[in-house]
Amino acid sequence: MFYSIRMRAELKGDHVSGAERIVRAEELDKVLKALLRRPREYDRMNITIEKIENLLCIPKALPIYSHDFKRIEEAHDFAISLLKREGIREDIALRGLELLKRGPSPKGGNMRGAVLMDIESGERLEPDKERGIRTVRFDWKNRNKIKELLKERGIKRFYLERLLDALALATKNVYCGVIAELCWSDDPEYTTGYVAGRNIGYVRIKPMKEEGNPIGGRIYFVKGEGLENLINCLEGTPLLIEDL
Q: Does 194 bind ligand PML (CB under 6 A)?
A: yes
Give the binding range for ligand PML (CB under 6 A) out of 91-99, 144-152, 155-163, 231-239: 155-163
Residue 52: CB minimum distance to ligand PML, A: 24
Q: Does 204 bind ligand PML (CB under 6 A)?
A: yes
Q: Which is nearer to ligand PML, 138 or 194 (CB)?
A: 194
Q: Does 166 bind ligand PML (CB under 6 A)?
A: yes
Give the binding range for ligand PML (CB under 6 A) out of 85-93, 103-111, 116-124, 157-165: 157-165
Give the binding range for ligand PML (CB under 6 A) out of 67-75, 87-95, 108-116, 158-166: 158-166
Q: Does 172 bind ligand PML (CB under 6 A)?
A: no
Q: Does 192 bind ligand PML (CB under 6 A)?
A: yes
Closest residue to ligand PML, judged by C-beta, is 185
Task: Pick from 193, 197, 201, 238 the residue near ligand PML by CB under 6 A.
Answer: 193
Read out DSSP for the chain? -EEEEEEEEEETTEEEEEEEEEEEGGGHHHHHHHHHTSSSS-SEEEEEEEEESS-EEEEEPPPEEEEE-SSHHHHHHHHHHHHHHTT--HHHHHHHHHHHHH-SSTTSS--SSBEEEETTT--B--S-TTT-B---SEEETTHHHHHHHHHHTT--HHHHHHHHHHHHHHHHHHHHT--EEEEE-S-TT---EEEEETTTEEEEEE-SS-TT----EEEEEE-STTHHHHHHHHHH--EEEEE-
